[in-house]
Amino acid sequence: MIVDWGQNERQLTDTVSVLIGDDNGKYPSGNTLVVRGAGESVIIDPSISVVERGGVSVAVDAVINSHSHEDHLAGNGMFADARIHIHEADLPGAKSIEGLMAVYGLTGPDRDDLEKMILDEFSYAPRPDAQGFTDGHVFDLGGGVKVEAVHLPGHTRGHSGFRMDGVFFLSDIDLSGFGPYYGDVWSDLEDFEASLTKVRNEEADFYVTFHQKGVIEGRETFLEMIDAFTAVIARRHDAMLDFLAEPHSIDEMRAHRFIYRSHVKAPFVEAVERRSAEMHVARMLRRGEAVEVAPGRFQAS
């Protein structure tokens, strides 16, 4: 499974490189990290591009998953002899398809469609041998090469970044114009905002996202990008509050779409819109920005 990625592998330091996924890691692909130590080599988040190419550029001793989502677990099944590590809060998603489906919280036909997509398109393979880690855990690869886990929940309960040799892996704090994703039942808006505040203090020469932005060089650029990414939350909130100038239900907010554009079709879209609207309305009620004017109908104060 040792594959030469050629120009699609970018060496960031003597020990860390990035395997650039298709279209710069745009979903459904992603950017996989390779970290080489004197004793072991690990990969972080084996993407669907890793599956399609048939391997990575090193002999893999362990796979580290940043969290339990289909695109980050895609290559786990390729490395049967390697250990699998994931934050203990997201461990069920790596161990079984039932555990992974619980992360999304879908029901009925939407759940069935998403499960089929994950199995067919993302080559999901259960890893009941997966091991959990916690915040601050250090993977010592030998020769002074270390990978430190930084718990950054909100996207999922166990979502984590990784600190290593002048590089910080942001995973799905992807700094894209889409903004933060907190639409699953294992997501949390408050936790996501706390994680954004926490990760803003990380100092590195390179910041790497799993999707799209890929490699960001320098802290100044990173700060500009994370501030813009964070600002999407407030823009969504204000847009929903404007919509509630007239009374509306959560279902009407879901149908209006504040997260995805109207043309986007996927089994999870409706649930994400609903879940996101629920979290923002709950925030409005706590702040006194909106009131429930009739059972299940809300209006800006």
Residue ranges per structural domain of the chain? 6-218, 244-300
> pLDDT digits over 52-92, tens only?
999 999 999 999 999 999 999 999 999 999 999 999 999 99
Q: Which fold has domain 6-218?
A: Metallo-beta-lactamase; Chain A (3.60.15)
> pLDDT digits over 9-44, tens only?
999 999 999 999 999 999 999 999 999 999 999 999
- pTM as predicted: 0.96
**Quick check: 277 pLDDT over 90?**
yes
Report residue 116 CA to chain centroid gap: 20
**Quick check: 227 pLDDT over 90?**
yes
H runs (alpha helix) in 96-188: 97-104, 108-121
Report the percent of the chain where pLDDT is more than 90: 98
> Residue 1: what pLDDT?
75
**Quick check: 96 pLDDT over 80?**
yes
Checking DSSP bridges between strand 16-19 and strand 9-11, what pairing results, if any?
Answer: antiparallel
* Torsion angle of the four alpha carbons 264, 18, 218, 212, in this order, in degrees rounded to the nearest 10: -10
Residue-averaged pLDDT of the chain: 97
> Residue 106: what pLDDT?
95
The 8-class DSSP code of residue 21 comes to: P
Report the percent of the chain where pLDDT is more than 70: 100
- Give 212 or 39, the one with higher predicted confidence: 39
- The tokens describing 119, both together, are 């199995």
Calpha distance 210→38 (Å, rounded)? 25
Lowest mean pLDDT among 81-95, 132-146, 258-272: 258-272
What is the chain's length? 301
> Residue 235: what pLDDT?
98
